[in-house]
Amino acid sequence: MKDFFLSSKAIALLQLFKYIENAETSPTLKEIMLQFLLTKITAIRYLKEIQQDLTELDPKIKLITSDNQYSVVYPAGRSFSATIFRLRFTYIVRTTKFQVMDALFKNNFSSIQALAEATNLSPSTIQNTIKPLKHYFKNFNVSISFRSSQNIIGEPLHIRILMVYTYNAIYRGKVLPDFVTNQSQYSLIVKDHLSFSQRHQLKLLKTVTYFDLIQKKNTVTLTPKLRQLLTAVNDTNPIVIELPGFSEQVLQDESALFGFLLRLLIANYDTSAEKIAIAKAVLALDTAFTNDVQQLLQHFFVAFKLEQNETHFLESFYYLVMTLIYLEFVSVDVTGFLEFSISMSAFKEENINADPVFKSLKSFLSGEAKTYPKLLDSTMGNMLYSLFFFLLDYNVQIKPLKINVQYTKNFYAANMISESLQNVFGSAITFTDRIDQADFIVSDSYENAEALQGDFFLFNNIFNPHDWSTLLSTLLQQVYSKTFYKTVHHDCVTK
């Protein structure tokens, strides 16, 4: 859904721009044609359009050719990361789907004709655009109508979710929706030291919320159960919305909802200790819902033989209960905006046998759904499946890579190598004096490697920076392939 407002051509142009930027060597026209299966005329036309679009963003951004190779040159203060977001935004706001949707959110129209006049589009274009928009809105349990006082019809909570996730997917970088509100005079106290992207998502959430409240007069009323849960979540790093003209209960509900959505949208707004505090506050409610979530998580830890230390269990509870609150009480499918897809093919490409883990997770969730049908009977199965994959990975301890170090040229080098590697890789590695039990052997001599189980690395000179760089990169690959995807290398899958 995040690409709903992009045409197939715009997606192709963005992919072509990324390809030029990320290619190891600047690609030729022929390579571009082969990569995207384009004719020569179409490839040249696409490249010209990209250059024109870049010039509109900044005349100093140049798509240049040298020896028939294409590359992009940026002026000082410009970069690919900023440019790709601006370019994507440009393609979106050009579409009639965005223009019509934006107009419908900002104003109310008595007819398609009135909307056509406001957007400078023909009534037939509006009608053809409304059809896919209605289908898009249906994902949020929201509809479009010209027969009532409001064009956007649905539960206020669902409309808010629609606006938040849609505009969040469109507005990246520095740009924010141009909603007309007087929100700037109402401060909102949040944590300090947020990153640029965190601040931007916060501003967007505030912009949408305040527009909905101040301009549209749309308020969200939480059910008693949801209010109790979100209030507990909002007790840590509380968000307090203060606006005149609204009741205390409305502002409490809006503050609690804002705090909940903020945590779903902004990664690591809370520290680990604060997530644990939220988990404890929610557990203290001692409701049927929270107790079920706790028991489900305990069953998960037992089924997969996970160590139930308090810190990991409470942090796991935080992630699980936040997800299940959304699925149980909001229940709008936003998986199309987020990364909730685990592809088995990606593991197979790396020759990693993930089948036992995936099958075990599916078996666990299917079995628990019989005990907790309300918690796990969701159309958004990908979100749950992805979450439990994360929880399994998060709670399984890495089995450190066993390393044996041998060095013959002086008596202190072996210790220096061990200490240096430990400083870099920490708990991901350990050292053994038994060369026959090592996963990885570092030596400046011949160790009859063919007869040993561990992989062998010939380390010639401890005073050569290149040798150190090669050792570190080789060891990193060893750690990645043998312990990084730890959920597919352990023996805790259920039988």
Q: What DSSP string runs through 124-140?
A: HHHHHHHHHHHHHHHTT
Phi, psi for residue 456 in degrees, rounded to 5: -110, 140
pLDDT at 489: 61
CA distance 155 to 134: 15
Name the H helices within 222-343.
224-233, 248-265, 272-283, 288-303, 310-325
pLDDT at 262: 96
Spatial contact of 441 and 453, defined as CB atoms under 8 Å apart: no
Overall pTM > 0.85: yes
pLDDT at 354: 76
pLDDT at 218: 93
Sheet holding 455-458, edge to edge: 429-431, 401-406, 440-443, 455-458
Spatial contact of 252 and 231, defined as CB atoms under 8 Å apart: yes
Give per-10-residue mean pLDDT for the chain (495 aa).
86 96 94 95 96 94 92 90 92 95 94 95 96 94 91 96 94 84 76 89 93 92 97 96 94 97 92 97 97 97 91 96 94 75 65 80 92 80 84 87 92 93 95 94 83 89 94 94 71 63
pLDDT at 156: 96
Q: Residue 245: left (phi > 0), alpha (psi -120 to 50), or beta?
A: left
Q: Which tokens belong to 245?
A: 């003209």
HEC readout, 51-111: HHHHHHHCCCCEEEEECCEEEEECCCCCCHHHHHHHHHHHHHHCCHHHHHHHHHHHCCCCC
